[in-house]
């Protein structure tokens, strides 16, 4: 019996070494597979994508939810909301762009209001909330990028005065023109009441500290289109008159 013990010990050691080699090989394969996934996902840059698209990229995994959670946990992905992801800037090399994210988060929508005016350099304040306009019910989201708010307007108002804009990564998102951002601000500002054109002027230049650059023409036809929708028409008329006065 004593002569068999060393052999059993050797056999056991052999199995242990074999298990370690097997685990090491599996670990290398897992790391290689992860590296391939990261490389594939990095092609999205800063563009948000859905769980369905992520699932198509991950393909061979039985649980997409578990793998996506792991990719968020290890810093490969940023979860914007349930079912919507971005590749983290550390992986893609591109900073996440709020305008692009806003369009994907809830829509159809375009970025507008104070956020758009600040991006155009028309108001001096830094704007913390990314405001957008949509035709569906109003909604707000708190995300790793900050707060996004969506304001409902009639379809007749929505369709006028927005354009495609390139962000710093070259990706395109939809944003209100300067005129439309001002119209949206007047239409959607809570408790905005005034009884004269001079009151509108004070709101724009004193309260909002609006700056109208003469090199950037404000399209008054957009203001007129918004007036025809009927909401706060008198205020929009005063808005148009003040802008026209400043253009002289």
Domain boundary among 70, 92, 114: 92
Task: Please tell me the predicted confidence (pLDDT) of residue 177.
Answer: 97
Token pair 């006028």 in the structure block, residue: 160
Whether the pLDDT of residue 181 is over 90: the answer is: yes
- Residue 176: domain span: 98-247
Cα-Cα end-to-end distance for the chain: 109
Dihedral angle sign, alpha carbons of residues 45, 51, 54, 56: negative
Contacts by 193-196, CB closer than 8 A, 24 or more apart = 194/235, 194/238, 196/238
Whether the pLDDT of residue 17 is over 90: the answer is: no
Nearest CA-CA partner of 182 in 132, 241, 112, 108: 112
Per the model's pLDDT, the better-predicted residue between 223 and 58 turns out to be: 223
Read off the pLDDT of residues 192-208 as tens digits, 9 standing for 90 and up: 989 999 999 999 999 99
Q: Please check whether residues 81 and 142 belong to one and the same domain.
A: no
Domain boundary among 45, 69, 92: 92
Per the model's pLDDT, the better-predicted residue between 12 and 103 turns out to be: 103
Q: In total, how many domains does the chain have?
A: 2
Domain boundary among 33, 59, 92: 92
Q: Please check whether residues 138 and 204 belong to one and the same domain.
A: yes
Nearest CA-CA partner of 140 in 130, 153, 128: 130
* Strand, coil or helix: 80: strand
Read off the pLDDT of residues 45-104 as tens digits, 9 standing for 90 and up: 999 999 999 988 887 665 778 888 999 999 999 999 999 999 999 999 999 999 999 999
Q: Could you give phi then psi for residue 186, rounded to 5 degrees?
A: -65, -40
Task: Please tell me the predicted confidence (pLDDT) of residue 248.
Answer: 64
The first and second tokens of residue 104, run together, are 């994907």
pTM recorded for the entire structure: 0.83
DSSP H or E stretch at residue 235: helix 233-247
Q: Please check whether residues 50 and 123 belong to one and the same domain.
A: no
């Amino acid at each position: 019996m004593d002569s068999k013990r060393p052999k059993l010990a050797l056999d056991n050691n052999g199995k242990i070494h074999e298990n370690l080699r097997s685990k090491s090989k599996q670990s290398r394969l897992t790391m290689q597979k992860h590296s391939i996934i990261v490389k594939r996902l990095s092609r999205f840059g800063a563009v948000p994508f859905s769980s369905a698209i992520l699932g198509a990229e991950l393909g061979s995994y039985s649980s997409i939810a578990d793998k996506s959670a792991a990719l968020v946990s290890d810093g490969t992905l940023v979860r914007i909301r349930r079912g919507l992801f971005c590749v983290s800037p550390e992986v893609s090399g591109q900073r996440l762009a709020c305008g692009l994210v806003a369009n994907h988060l809830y829509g159809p929508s375009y970025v507008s209001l104070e956020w758009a005016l600040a991006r155009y350099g028309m108001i001096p304040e830094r704007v913390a909330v990314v405001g957008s306009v949509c035709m569906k019910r109003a909604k707000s989201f708190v995300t790793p990028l900050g707060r996004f708010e969506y304001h409902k307007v009639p379809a007749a108002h929505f369709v006028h005065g927005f354009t495609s804009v390139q962000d710093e990564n070259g990706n395109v998102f939809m944003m209100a023109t300067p005129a439309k951002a001002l119209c949206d601000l007047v239409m959607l500002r809570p408790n905005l009441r005034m009884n004269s054109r001079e009151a509108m002027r004070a709101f724009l230049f004193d309260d909002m500290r609006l700056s109208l650059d003469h090199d950037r023409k404000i399209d008054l036809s957009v203001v007129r289109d918004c007036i025809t929708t009927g909401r706060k028409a008198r205020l929009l008329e005063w808005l148009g008159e003040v802008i026209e006065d400043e253009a002289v």
